A and B are shown apart, each in its own frame.
Chain A
Amino acid sequence: MPYSTKVMEHFQNPRNVGEIENPDGVGEIGNPVCGDIMKLYIRVKDNRVVDAKFKTFGCGAAIATSSMITELVKNKTLEEALKISRQTVAEALDGLPANKMHCSNLAADALHKAIEDYKNKKKKPESVSKRDE
């Protein structure tokens, strides 16, 4: 098998699968290379990511990187979280096969998008967002 033991471990027992109800931020990304999809949910408290959950339609690497990034991001400040890149995730998994590096983009991009989503929501005045609902 081309995957590291760590990848297979996360693939078999993915952490933090699911959705967060009323999340503070959601990031959804489609992989332009193979067409796979990841959805990442975050809960933010006092500028820190206190919870993260994911749902992924993708290969072994996509599932393992999704699982790993939800672990990595927990209890990080937003600034720290934004620094998590695809390399960070790949390294934490003891590497990915070369043709699977693009899958780790999925996880990193989804995280960055979720944080962006959180920031956008926060920017909006309370009354506006209420009206939107």
Chain B
Amino acid sequence: MIRKIYLDHSATTPVHPEVFEAMIPFYKERFGNASSIHLFGREAKVALDESREKVAGFLNTDPLEIYFTSGGTESDNLAIKGTAFANRNKGKHIITSSIEHHAILESCKFLQKEGFEVNYLQVDKYGLVNPDELRKQIRKDTILISIMHANNEMGTIEPVEELSRIARETGIYFHTDAVQSIGKIQIDVQKLGVDLLSLSGHKFYGPKGVGVLYIRRGVRLTPLSHGGHHEKARRAGTENIPGIVGLAKAIEIAQRDMEKEESRIRLLSDRFFDKVMQRIPDVFMNGHPERRVPNILNLSFKGVEGESIILNLDLKGIAVASGSACTSGSLEPSHVLSAMGVPPDLAQSSIRFSFGRSNTEEDVDYVAEVLPEIISKLRKMSPIYEQSKS
């Protein structure tokens, strides 16, 4: 039987069994609409309130500042467009980074068409935003700064505390996309000093299609969907109670297991990295060697295109992702690796291994075993790899 090894946890994760258990009643006997005043509705409302409290506790804030959404993409859209529209009388300038998720970048591009001006901060070779560079770009009419917490392609952790301090000094709203950092590093909105923060359930063993936007009290924000008075009229639509309950449970588990999981995953990732570096020549790590969420390892295999590596690993039952243009759908190589100055051929050769709960030492040893053969076979086929080196 072919082994199945999932090393794409940054794309999505399976729902944790405890999360699934917690959700089931809310699809069945406790299916009520939280806006109804009868027993069924009240049950749903209690579950909603409890979930909100759990999330607030985890983020170290007040439940009134927690808004449930349909996921990371919606949270990012609401944060960017919502604050931009609400504060356009104050200014039309927004600052973000060149390595954000498309949910941020495309929201910003949309706003540019609406007359806003956006600066995309450059990053260094590790993918880090420079606080001095942020300072320089701030204008009188800057209304929002959005810099992600941990990057989804190579895991680099941005200096959010330092960046948000700059925003605070100048009275500008600061948003961070923490979709990839939850469960890996502590997220305390007071310590981080952010005004808005996005989360997504399915990246930490919760369900898909549910997310959170933290909005600090006093932040002016225009809703994007209009309808009922759900989520304090900032996000209309009947609440996805099973999803929300699942997300809250997933947060509880993440909090409970973070320390243990974090160090376990770090060991796995390091073990894998060491074996790969020993066995395969001309491999380069993308991202910061230390300032990085431990579960993401992004490596470029010189001379070999990413999709051809993915397909070969897939045939062995191993699931990974790539920053190669050939796999992106848009046929652009990774904007993240390009922004870091990774040469195009190495961006084409990048593979993201993202580890998670299901992975064991045997798993990573198996991958480290089959990988050298695959790379060497593809390099023999490559017109841009000097064979003599291997």
Give me the interface of A with B, judged by CB distance under 8 Å: 1, 3, 8, 11-12, 14, 17-18, 28, 33-39, 55-60, 62-63, 99, 102-103
Shortest CB distance B342–A (Å): 13
CB of B227 within 8 Å of the partner chain? no
8 Å CB contact of A57 from B314, B327, B331, B382: B382
B383 near A39: Cβ-Cβ < 8 Å: yes
Pick 17 A–B contacts, CB within 8 A, sort by A: A18-B380, A34-B333, A35-B345, A37-B383, A37-B384, A38-B383, A56-B383, A57-B382, A58-B305, A58-B308, A58-B326, A59-B305, A59-B308, A60-B307, A63-B308, A99-B329, A102-B331
Nearest first, the 8 closest Cβ-Cβ pairs linking A and B are A59-B326, A55-B383, A34-B325, A59-B307, A39-B383, A60-B311, A57-B382, A34-B331
Using CB atoms, name the residue of chain B closest to A55.
B383
CB of B277 within 8 Å of the partner chain? no
A34 near B383: Cβ-Cβ < 8 Å: no
Shortest CB distance B126–A (Å): 23
- Which residues of chain B come closer than 8 Å to A58, judged between CB atoms? 305, 307-308, 326
CB of B237 within 8 Å of the partner chain? no
Shortest CB distance A70–B (Å): 12
Shortest CB distance A103–B (Å): 8
CB of B315 within 8 Å of the partner chain? yes
- Which residues of chain B come closer than 8 Å to A12, judged between CB atoms? 315
- Which residues of chain A come closer than 8 Å to B329, judged between CB atoms? 99
Shortest CB distance A52–B (Å): 14
Q: How many angstroms from the CA of A4 to the CA of B326 in the assembled complex?
A: 17
Q: How many angstroms from the CA of A17 to the CA of B378 in the assembled complex?
A: 10
- Which residues of chain B come closer than 8 Å to A59, judged between CB atoms? 305, 307-308, 324, 326-327
